[in-house]
Each structure stands twice: as structure tokens, then as C-alpha cells.
Amino acid sequence: MKNNYSYQEALEASERISWRIKDIIGGEKRLDFSKPFMPESLAQVSTLSFLSPEEKRTLNQVRGHEYLAMFGLVEEFILPYVVEHARPKLSGDDYRVRALLQFAGEEAKHIHLFKTFRHNFEAGFGSKCAFIGPAEDIRNFVLSHSPLGVGIAVLHIEWITLRHYIEGVRDNQDLDPQFKSLLKHHWLEESQHTKLDTLIVEDLAAKASEKEVDQAFQEYAEIGGFIDEGIKQQAEFDVEAFVSATGRNLAKSERAEMNEAVLKGMRWTYLGTGMTHPNFLATVEQIKPEARAQIEQMAPAFC
């Protein structure tokens, strides 16, 4: 079914919503380390029966740090992608020009927002949490693909931020209010990005040949595979961060179990929630029904 998204409607919603970073974090507004940061649906630490409640909370917070870093990282390639898409379209439809520039401006603000939260986390957590990178290499790898391939991957990312908030955070009263506020404010603006990126992807797909569409879906799978490789490395970093934060001596089997739980949680957070998102799949189906079937076939490995 065709959506009724428009550049004008997205721009007007964005102008109504607009918020400032200093309204969310800084000064008296700090992360509260006595509370979890991530909803259990994403963190997936409760099954680790050998951990105390405090240790589960620490691992949850480690995953919170990873979420901040991961979104900081993906926004690093979304920003140039949107700017490049907008560049040849700077005249003509005024609403489109303004909506695309607003989209880019918001992603630049989100990079700053996630960085600010990360600094706040590092100041309060008490020990180091490593993160994959360097961001520049990851950005260069992703942007080496065709605009349609990158656009589909970006659309996946935009939809997952909505799902994370709506399904796990909005009605959750246990989470740290500051972290919850971050996810809420991100969701508010990402709600427009999902629509704008759908319009971008539809525009690119309408101009693409059958071969280019096939290539784009292959690239989407490649980018997903690349992210999954990063996730595997990051799961080990998260376990290491937990060990240095708690000083806990994990038995070999406990370490393996923790690694598996973190990996499963990360795969669901960053891959499964997008690959099974009904609106993402609806756009994919509109472009190529077989591609939807393929994604649905791959999805269970990440759910």
C-alpha cells in the first residue's frame, strides 16, 4: 500500500517538535547510575542467572553505552548521505529542500547529542567501555555502496529507533529518566526521518534499473553483514567492560553465556528490529516483492 508521506508535512512536524540538547542533558540533568538505561527487550541480560541484580544493572548500562556509541557511529554516515542526496536538489520544490536540510541538521544534532551523553556516561560510570571503530573507516565502507543500497540501510536504521522507543521505553517506568528522555527526543525527530528516507528511497528506486535494484538489496545485505561483524567484536568489548567495571571473575562458561546473551541482544537491537519492521518491509515489497521474502527469510537469525 502506498504511503501518503510528504516533504511539507514532515517539515512542519519537525518545526513543531524541535528541541535543544541543553534541554535534555547537562548541568543538573545527569545519568542516574542507580537505574537501568536500556529496556530489557533490547538489553536481554535478565536470563544470566549467575549475576546479582546490581551486576545485571551494570551490564545493562554497558549496553546503554554501546547504544550511545552505535547511534553516534551510524549517524556519522547518515549525515553525509543526506547532504549528498540534497546537494543536487537545492532548487525546485522548496519544501523538499528545507525538509532535507532539516533532516541533515537534525542528524548533526543527534551526533552531538549521543556524544554528550557518552561524555556524561564516561564521567559517571567509573571505568572504560571500548567501542568498535574507527568511525571514519565504517563510514567510508558504508558510503562506498550505491545511494539506493545505502538508502535502504538508512531506512532500516530510522525505523528501528521508533520501534525501540515505542515497544520498550515509552511505558517503562524503571529506566533512568535522562536516558529515557534521550530515546524519546530521538524518536520524536526520527519519526520524520523514516518518512523522508522512505521518500528518498522511493525516488531512487523509481529511477533505478532492475539490475541496480538487485544490486542495492545485495548491498543492504552486505552492509548488514558488516554491521554484524562489528556486533560480534562489540559483544566481546561489552563483556570486557562488565568485567573491568565489576571486578567479577567469570568462569569460562559464564563468560561464554554472557557473550551469547549480549550478542543476541545486539543482533535484535540493531538488525532484527529493522528486518521485521512492517513499514520497512512494506517499502521493500513495493520496490521488489522477492527482496521482502529474502529479508524475512534471513531475519530469524537476528531475532
Binding site for Fe ion (CB under 5 A): 110, 158, 190, 193
Nearer to Fe ion, 10 or 231 (CB): 10
Minimum distance between the CB of residue 184 and Fe ion, rounded to whole angstroms? 13
Minimum distance between the CB of residue 39 and Fe ion, rounded to whole angstroms? 18
C-alpha 91 chain-centroid distance: 31
Q: Do the Cβ atoms of 207 and 19 come closer than 8 Å?
A: no
Distance, CA of 178 to CA of 188 (rounded, Å): 15
Minimum distance between the CB of residue 71 and Fe ion, rounded to whole angstroms? 7
Nearer to Fe ion, 110 or 195 (CB): 110
- What are the b/e assignments for 29-59, b being 16+ CB within 10 Å? eebeeebbbbbbbbbbbeebeebeeebbbbb
Nearer to Fe ion, 24 or 250 (CB): 24
Nearer to Fe ion, 110 or 163 (CB): 110
Minimum distance between the CB of residue 61 and Fe ion, rounded to whole angstroms? 21
Phi/psi at 135 (nearest 5 deg)? -55, -35
Q: Do the Cβ atoms of 64 and 121 come closer than 8 Å?
A: yes
Nearer to Fe ion, 176 or 197 (CB): 197
Phi/psi at 287 (nearest 5 deg)? -80, -45
Minimum distance between the CB of residue 103 and Fe ion, rounded to whole angstroms? 7
Minimum distance between the CB of residue 78 and Fe ion, rounded to whole angstroms? 6
For residue 39, whether the previous peptide bond is cis, meaning omega lies within 30 degrees of 0, is: no
Three-class DSSP category at 29: strand
Q: Do the Cβ atoms of 42 and 168 come closer than 8 Å?
A: yes
- Indicate the burial class of 1 (C-beta count within 10 angstroms; 0-12, 13-18, 19 or more): exposed
Nearer to Fe ion, 65 or 193 (CB): 193
